[in-house]
Structure 1
Amino acid sequence: MKVILFGATGMIGQGVINECLRDERVQQVLAVGRNSLGIENPKLRELVQPDPTDLAAIAGELAEFDACFFCLGVSSVGMKEADYRRITYDLTLKVGRTLAAVNPKLVFIYVSGQGTDSTEQGRSMWGRVKGKTENDLLALPFQAYMFRPGFVQPMDGVISRTPLYRVAYAITGPLIPLFKRLAPNAVNDNREIGRAMIAVAASGANTHVLEPREINARAKS
């Protein structure tokens, strides 16, 4: 399959691109972002530009892709709702609507988060915004799947770009193996998320909203 990947420099995105480059089911990856990945691989192609949601440069190729893995996002910590919505909702739907219009057979997988509010009415700002993003993506005319990982364990030396998360991982890192044994369906590592995305893009899933348990199950298929 041919995959478009957004957010490949993030903690989850790095795990996803590593799995895509390893997996024989993926023939080509187009990584779209503001910065180059610095990776040399015959399967990888990059589109580096200030606005990663502007797909005009590849408009003629969009119908050729089988899947889009959308891992682009920011932490809501310290952000006003309008700013968080602009990045989380507006940019995501811009890409989603563009792809759905030209390629309704595409599989679009969006990285959301456990605790997302599908009612869009809850007290959590990020949960409401993520909920609306999920709902509007699911309404578009392509095959959309929402991934809601739980606690994400970074693998292969990947480090979060968010300072608060780096501190949290430094403190909790030694406890993650124990936590994973005690609550295996509350933890996903970034390798598992990548494997699950490829599996869902290749053969679907029995639900369009995948919580940590479903992500781990699809990672093994």
Structure 2
Amino acid sequence: MEKRKALVLGATGLIGREVVNMLIAHDQYERVTVLVRRKLDITHPKLIQVTADFDRLEQNSEAFRVDDVFSCLGTTIKTAKTKENFKKVDHGYTIKAAELAAGQGTSNFLTVSAIGADSKSMFFYNKVKGMVEDDL
């Protein structure tokens, strides 16, 4: 079986870090690339870290030439400071990443959503997560 290549977005977060650890430990993956704003404190022969400006994600379009993209992007209102910034990260970056992945012929695009995700929800968090699901 041919070895796979993966790209992880949101690798510095709780879920993303675990996804990276699982992928580098898995025999099926020969390379795991992470696009990050700041480098991870881990090293591994399979791991390639690329510092990226997520507002200009298209500058890293070549990184999306992989078999599987794992999008673990997300923030909190507290960290984002505004609803607009929250939506930009959770929705905008995720959708842009999916578009770039499709453009590079990526086989699988997987994203972390939320229980209760619904674009018609009265709760902003669930609404944004639902919008992501709808738009994917």
Q: TM-score band, normalised by the shorter chain?
A: 0.7 to 0.9
Cα distance between partner residues in 1 of 2:20 and 2:75: 18
**Alignment coverage as a number of residue pairs:** 132
What is the RMSD of the two structures over their aligned residues, measured on CA atoms? 2.0
Contact 1:34–1:50 (Cα < 8 Å) also in 2: yes
8 Å Cα contact 2:95/2:132 also seen in 1: yes
| 1:107-141: CA deviation from partner (whole Å, max 9, x where unpaired) | 00100111111xx112111111110101111xxxx
In the alignment, which residue of structure 2 is the partner of 1:89? 91
Letter matched to residue 28 of structure 1? R
TM alignment of 1:109-124, pairs within 5 A: 109-117=110-118, 120-124=119-123
Structure 1 regions of 5+ residues with no counterpart? 138-221
**Residues 45-74 of structure 1: CA deviation (Å, up to 9, x unaligned):** 011133376142452x643x1000001111
1:6 is matched with 9
Alpha-carbon distance in 1 for matches of 2:120, 2:11: 31
The reply on whether 1:101 has 2:100 as its aligned counterpart is: no
1:136-193 CA-to-partner distances (Å, cap 9, x unmatched) read: 11xxxxxxxxxxxxxxxxxxxxxxxxxxxxxxxxxxxxxxxxxxxxxxxxxxxxxxxx
Q: 1:23 to 1:53 in 2, by over 3 A?
A: farther
Q: Output one character per residue of 1:78-123: Cα deviation in whole Å (capped at 9) or x when no partner.
A: 85432221111111111111211231x5200100111111xx1121
The structure-2 alpha-carbon separation of the partners of 1:53 and 1:18, relative to structure 1 and needing over 3 Å to count, comes to farther
Q: Which amino acid aligns with 2:70?
A: F
Give the AA of the match of 1:41.
H
Distance 1:53 1:92 in 2: 13
Instruction: Report if the CA contact (8 A) 2:72-2:111 is conserved.
Output: yes
Deviation, 1:29, is 0.2
Q: Quick one: distance in 2 between partners of 1:93 and 1:58?
A: 14
| CA deviations over 1:183-210 (Å, ceiling 9, x no partner) | xxxxxxxxxxxxxxxxxxxxxxxxxxxx
Give the superposition deviation at 1:39: 1.7
TM superposition shift of 1:77 = 4.8
Counterpart in the other structure of 1:131: 130
State the SS of the aligned residue for 1:109: strand
1:68 aligned partner: 69
Larger radius of gyration: 1
Change (3 A) 1:99 1:30: same
TM-score for the superposition, normalised by structure 1: 0.55
For 1:121 and 1:20, the matched residues in 2 are separated by 34
For the residue of structure 1 that corresponds to 2:21, the secondary structure is helix
Answer whether contact 1:5 1:30 (CA < 8 A) is retained. Answer: yes
